[in-house]
Amino acid sequence: MAIRNIRVEGDPILNKKSREVTEMTDRNRELIEDMLDTMYDANGVGLAAPQVGVLKRIVVIDVTEDGDSPIVLINPEIIEKDGTQTGAEGCLSVPGKSGTVTRANHVKVRALNEDMQPFELEGTELLARAIQHELDHLEGVLYTSKVEGELTSTEKEEE
């Protein structure tokens, strides 16, 4: 178990496209465990591998309050999306900020699990938002490029 350094906006790795994972190795297993530890440690609801400096198509998500339902998506692809939701979004790589982003309200994603077995996952609202946000990271896209209006500071709330 290890907490990795989270890269912040301005680090060029966050704007690069990640590569597909072709096999589950000890190194990838360790990366996934560390990503989960890092996400929970930072009180985030999702984290993508490029945020810890690794350009692999892996994301972890947990939108539950208790943080007891980790989701691991490897080589994820959105295969269905519908509806819209407009709301506040933040990112561990853009600390202390939040902004309004419109996303699909429902998505269905196809991915591989940690045993490299395919599965599908459906989500609405916060889970759908987290899936879309994290998949954007794999394309080198930060939510700040999709914000409507100004980014606002959340620093006071965090204190």
Residues lying near Ni ion in the complex (CB under 5 A): 91
Work out how close the CB of 80 gets to Ni ion at its nearest, in angstroms, rounded to a whole number.
22
Task: Give whichever of 36 and 91 is closer to Ni ion, judged by the CB atom.
Answer: 91
Work out how close the CB of 125 gets to Ni ion at its nearest, in angstroms, rounded to a whole number.
17
Residue closest to Ni ion (Cβ): 91
Work out how close the CB of 136 gets to Ni ion at its nearest, in angstroms, rounded to a whole number.
8
125 part of the active site:
no
Task: Give whichever of 17 and 117 is closer to Ni ion, judged by the CB atom.
Answer: 17
Q: Which of 33, 80, 122, 134 is catalytic?
A: 134
Task: Give whichever of 24 and 37 is closer to Ni ion, judged by the CB atom.
Answer: 37
Report DSSP letters for the chain, one per residue.
--PPPPP-TT-GGGGSPPBPP-S--HHHHHHHHHHHHHHHHTT-SEEEGGGGT--BSEEEE--SSS----EEEEEEEEEEEE--EEEEE--TTSTTEEEEEEE-SEEEEEEE-TTS-EEEEEEEHHHHHHHHHHHHHHTT--GGGS-EEEEEE-HHHH-
Positions marked catalytic? 134
